[in-house]
Structure 1
Amino acid sequence: DTFTGFLPPLLPVLITSLSLSKTEAGLLRVFLQGPSLLQPVIGHLADRVNLRFLGILAPAVTAIVMSLVGIAPDYTALILLLTVAGLSSANFHAILSVAAGRLSGHRLGRGMSFWMFGAELGRALGPIVIVSAIRLLGVARTPWLMVAGWLGSVLLYVRLRDVPFQPSRQQQDLSWQLAMRGMGRFMVPLLGIIVARAFLFQALTTYLPTFLSEEGVDLWLAGTSLTVLEAAGTLGALAGGSLSDRLGRRPVLAASLLTSPLVMLLFLATDSWIRFLALLPLGLTAFSIAPTLMALTQESFPQNPSLANGIYMALTFVTGSVMAVVAGALGDLFGLRWTFAASAVVALLGVPFVWFLPSRGVGRESEA
């Protein structure tokens, strides 16, 4: 996630060096996140066979291709690099997030909080790492950063080589057709929440450095602002799932969906150092939703958690890709300030969908 976090702060550089429009820049997110459509397939396989090594290799593969993005000679090369990174990321998230859930036992919300804490910490480090590398080494030497990804894969191999990944026979005996049949009532309101949240989330995480650069902020400080947002997001991710274990999934989701748009409007209404301070509560609230949704999804379908989680992740990443393009197109037409404000209004529309989520796991209800 540190390496996939390179893309947003690189967008101002790529827009200038390759003469890209904001819409073309937003499309790059599609190629990075589009392969997540395969996550349900990967998850279905992971419910039946051991895909440990695909997950272990993912950091190395992602690091190699993302370290080359800054020196890509043209738009076609960017598409190829980001597609490979997207495939690697899809393997990592579909396989290892459910493994983390299984290892969490009865504290699934807390386990997903730790998972998302690592993810958001990586995305927080990504922008500051790449803009610092560009400032200190120059764009031409950024491929050296891939060494960190190689070391990450080595560490995963050492730590996970003896961890059991093979699912139970009960999970293997439940066909994907039967599992999919019971997911509709859960997935419809889930999709509503994902779509409402994605516009605000993608506008922020994709275009925050670009927005601030257009407002006259230095590139390093604009990239650092994304790190501030993501750093606050790590705390939000850590707290969100744990709080949902204690307070319930739906109250935590409703509070987050209601608060984050209001803080976004506060961010737009301020300037100077107050604006950067507003990034802290914005990150805390906007990022607390994901671990709660992941926990709710996995516990709702205990016989096929990887398949259910894969569908959730695919919906999240693909919706995010589409919304990144929409935000870019609106930014070209009306400006990013207007786009950020519109994203806050759309996010509020997700609140009613929370109450259509089952209060108990769908899978557990069917078992009863």
Structure 2
Amino acid sequence: MSPAEKRFQSGHVSSIAATHLLHDTYTSFFAPLLPLLSEKLGFTYALAGALSVVQRIPALFNPLFGIIADRILIRSGIILCPVVAVVSMSLIGLAPSIIMLAVLMLVSGITAAVYHVTAPVLMRRVSGDKVGRGMSFFMFGGELARTVGPLLVTAAVSWWGLEGIWRLIPVGLIASLLLFLNLRTIRKEDLLHFSTPAKEPLLKSFRGMTPLFSTILPIMFFRGFSKSALALFLPSYMVDHGHSLKTAAIALAVLELAAALGALGAGSLSDRIGRRKVLLGIMLISPALMYLFTLSGGIVLWLLLILMGLLFFASTPVFMAMIHDLNSDRPSLANGLFMTMNFAAGSAIAMLVGFAADHCGLLLTYKITALLGLFAIPPALCVKK
């Protein structure tokens, strides 16, 4: 790696993180609007989980998107995805039926699949030899979006009503244009690096990635129950326990703001002390925090929300740094496989959590997810130092 390739390009890192912020701000509208949408269209927690699955279905094609992206990495595509997400998610308040809502969720899911395969690869390139730090900035943008998104859409509902949130479209389009103009300054060399025709056989690439993926998949699965329960159903949990929709949205925003800070620090910390130590710490502490949350109220509940946010979502930049540590000549494929595993596991878990909430209630469901999180500890011990 030449001195130029080792350099951490702060400006471009910030720009790519900003596109993540924009994209995920709009795709985070569903959870805070869930109580209103379920009231308007009349669906259960299980169907809410199914709608989340619909949004994640395109992730099954991430490896294909990855193979394509390894040949052609287009900056404009990283902006086109947020544009489509802005429009589709701003229209969900107008959806006249569950089917139309599902269509809008599917469209936003396609943009998420394409974006989350291509953008991290470009982030890796402009991060130089500080990949963990770059992935932390990338995930900071995504997690901060899930703080901004609930607050933005809740404010929009209070101003214009559920069916008036389409007025947020111009805001997103203007932001997309500004970011596109900034991303055009990225050097062509940083794009061509991933477009070299000489690559190892596809099967050999898969074999080289298998040991890592077989280790992190069970960690992603078992820690995913609590993560999904919080990310998708926290507003409903808060409303069920006597809080207003505004308080529920604030709770989700607090969780996601803490998650943004946790993601920002975790990757950089793993650069210094190692990926295994960071992951193991997260897996050991998270189940206890989730269980205590179900027993708490008042100020303790808010303190636990902050602590859970700091830890529950901090593993993703560490995983992404581990993937790019492979130094594969097919980085988009590796990233695509990771995203497929992440979204596929999350989809299955979202449905399971939704069914459990319908039959057992959210309180007991949250306790069960805390216990399931303990099973992520053994595979975390198997991560190479």
Alpha-carbon distance between aligned partners in 1 of 2:44 and 2:52, rounded to the nearest angstrom: 14
- Superposition pairs for residues 163-182 of structure 1, below 5 Å? 163=186, 164=188, 165-168=191-194, 172-182=198-208
Choose 257-266 or 74-83, whichever is displaced more. 257-266
2:87 to 52, 59, 64: 64
Contact 1:121/1:234 (8 A) holds in 2: yes
Count of residues paired in the alignment: 359
Which residue number corresponds to residue 165 of structure 2?
142
User: 1:110 is aligned with what amino acid?
Assistant: R
2:326 to 290, 293, 300: 300
Choose 17-26 or 41-50, whichever is displaced more. 41-50
2:382 to 331, 343, 356: 356
Instruction: Say whether 1:15 aligns with 2:63.
Output: no
Choose 218-227 or 342-351, whichever is displaced more. 342-351
Alpha-carbon distance between aligned partners in 1 of 2:197 and 2:372, rounded to the nearest angstrom: 38
User: 2:84 is aligned with what amino acid?
Assistant: V
Q: Deviations over 1:221-279 (max 9, x none)?
A: 01110000000001100010010000100000010111111111121111123212211
Contact 2:93/2:164 (8 A) holds in 1: no
Could you tell me the TM-score, scaled by structure 2's length? 0.90
Alpha-carbon distance between aligned partners in 1 of 2:366 and 2:195, rounded to the nearest angstrom: 48
Q: Aligned in 2, Cα 1:50/1:169: closer, same or farther, shift over 3 Å?
A: closer
CA drift at 1:51 = 2.8
2:276 to 245, 250, 253: 250
Alpha-carbon distance between aligned partners in 1 of 2:108 and 2:176, rounded to the nearest angstrom: 15
- Superposition pairs for residues 1-368 of structure 1, below 5 Å? 1-163=24-186, 164=188, 165-168=191-194, 172-359=198-385
Residue ranges of structure 2 left out of the alignment (5+ in a row) = 1-23
User: 1:293 is aligned with what amino acid?
Assistant: F
Which residue number corresponds to residue 7 of structure 2?
none
Name the SS of the counterpart of 1:148 in structure 2. helix
Alpha-carbon distance between aligned partners in 1 of 2:197 and 2:304, rounded to the nearest angstrom: 45
Name the SS of the counterpart of 1:349 in structure 2. helix
Alpha-carbon distance between aligned partners in 2 of 1:311 and 1:264, rounded to the nearest angstrom: 29
Contact 2:70/2:195 (8 A) holds in 1: no
Name the SS of the counterpart of 1:324 in structure 2. helix
Residue ranges of structure 1 left out of the alignment (5+ in a row) = 360-368
Q: Deviations over 1:196-233 (max 9, x none)?
A: 12111000000000011011100110111000000000
Q: Deviations over 1:2-55 (max 9, x none)?
A: 011101011111111111011001111111112111221111111111332222
Contact 1:44/1:176 (8 A) holds in 2: no
Contact 2:73/2:118 (8 A) holds in 1: no
Alpha-carbon distance between aligned partners in 2 of 1:172 and 1:139, rounded to the nearest angstrom: 52
Name the SS of the counterpart of 1:222 in structure 2. helix
Contact 1:60/1:152 (8 A) holds in 2: no
Alpha-carbon distance between aligned partners in 2 of 1:11 and 1:181, rounded to the nearest angstrom: 41
Alpha-carbon distance between aligned partners in 2 of 1:59 and 1:149, rounded to the nearest angstrom: 8
Contact 2:135/2:267 (8 A) holds in 1: yes
User: 1:266 is aligned with what amino acid?
Assistant: L
Choose 199-208 or 45-54, whichever is displaced more. 45-54
Contact 1:196/1:347 (8 A) holds in 2: yes
CA drift at 1:156 = 2.7
Contact 1:49/1:167 (8 A) holds in 2: no
Alpha-carbon distance between aligned partners in 1 of 2:197 and 2:235, rounded to the nearest angstrom: 44
Q: Deviations over 1:143-195 (max 9, x none)?
A: 01122221232123212223232234657422322211222211111111110
Q: Aligned in 2, Cα 1:39/1:148: closer, same or farther, shift over 3 Å?
A: farther
Contact 1:31/1:82 (8 A) holds in 2: yes
Contact 1:59/1:152 (8 A) holds in 2: no
User: 2:87 is aligned with what amino acid?
Assistant: I
Could you tell me the TM-score, scaled by structure 1's length? 0.94
User: 1:199 is aligned with what amino acid?
Assistant: F
Alpha-carbon distance between aligned partners in 1 of 2:138 and 2:198, rounded to the nearest angstrom: 25
Choose 29-38 or 75-84, whichever is displaced more. 29-38
Name the SS of the counterpart of 1:96 in structure 2. helix
Runs of 4+ aligned structure 1 residues displaced above 6 Å come to none
